[in-house]
Amino acid sequence: MEIRFADCSVRYGDTVALQPLDLTLTERRIGVIGLNGSGKTTFVRAINGLVKPSRGRVTVNGLDTVEDGPAVLSKVGFIFQNPQNQLILPIVADDIALGLKSRGLATSAVAARVEAVLARFDIAHLARRRVHALSGGETQLVAMASVLVTEPDILILDEPTNQLDLKNRKRVIDTLAGLPEAAIVVSHDLSLIESFARVLLFHEGRLIADGAPVDVVKAYEAVALC
Ligand SMILES: Nc1ncnc2c1ncn2[C@@H]1O[C@H](COP(=O)(O)OP(=O)(O)O)[C@@H](O)[C@H]1O
Ligand SMILES: [Mg+2]
């Protein structure tokens, strides 16, 4: 996996949400931290093309997020900050199947892959449940299953433990730890990222620290407490 930002900046009108950035990411677990409004979501959305650079470019395994948008979207799965917003169909199994059906897979192949992903996440008992009646932790797991069933190479999670109680937080962390896919995780939950290979700290749209978790968390404490 290689994600490359080349002189990439992002503006929303007059707001510069991401200052010009040159960066290459190849690690299997990357954390993204920073205060509210520091540009974390903008940064990760730029990786799968949900946000377009105002200047420069972003590539994922050589594919440009603007020129090769659909190919990038199929390689980079994204779990939103509010995962309930990405569950579209009323029943869990139907929602998980949706991404596969839209890729033209045969009905029997879709059913087999849905069953496998439900088993992988240990949520087979949720298959016929209504998505809007799930708990926060269940919603997070179903959203992960819906994305991973399409077999992306990279998974991005934007604050995956934010709305969860301690039990569900542990469940999501354990599930994340077992994923063979590369993952980029935005989090205020510093214990979640402490074992990661690399952590990025954003402050006012700028990448201000990049390295081992322990060092970057120290830099975060310094900016947060001043
Ligand atoms: N769609 C948008 N339109 C205008 N401004 C935005 C939009 N999304 C984010 N911003 C602004 O860009 C900055 C960075 O936001 P964001 O990337 O969401 O930060 P974070 O995820 O770290 O909280 C903030 O000042 C925010 O208000
Ligand atoms: Mg955010």
Sequence spans of domains, the chain: 3-224
pTM value is: 0.95
What's the pLDDT at 40? 98
How many whole angstroms from 165 Cα to the centroid of ligand 1?
A: 26
Beta bridge partners of 167: none
Residue 134 pLDDT greater than 90, yes or no:
yes
CATH class of 3-224: alpha beta
Ligand 1 pocket test, pick from 9, 36, 42 with the greatest ligand atom count within 8 Å of Cβ, gives: 42
Q: 187 in ligand 1 pocket by Cβ < 6 Å? A: no
Element (H, E) at 200: strand 198-203
Closest atom of ligand 1 relative to the 13 alpha carbon: 4
User: What percentage of residues in the chain have a pLDDT greater than 90?
Assistant: 83
Give 77-101 pLDDT, tens digit per residue. 999 989 998 999 999 999 999 988 8
Amino acid at 4: R
- At 109, list the tokens: 């192949």
How many whole angstroms from 150 Cα to the centroid of ligand 2?
A: 24
- At 186, list the tokens: 């935005």
* Phi, psi (deg, nearest 5) at residue 157: -125, 125
- At 164, list the tokens: 């969860």
User: Predicted confidence band at 172 (pLDDT cuts at 50, 70, 90)?
Assistant: confident
Q: 34 in ligand 1 pocket by Cβ < 6 Å? A: yes
Q: Which of 156, 129, 159, 155 is nearest to 142 (CA)?
A: 129
* Phi, psi (deg, nearest 5) at residue 31: -105, 150
User: Predicted confidence band at 102 (pLDDT cuts at 50, 70, 90)?
Assistant: confident
Q: Per-residue b/e over 103-118, b at no fewer than 16 CB within 10 Å?
A: eebeeeebeebbeebb
CA distance 84 to 155: 17
What's the pLDDT at 77? 95
Closest atom of ligand 1 relative to the 36 alpha carbon: 23
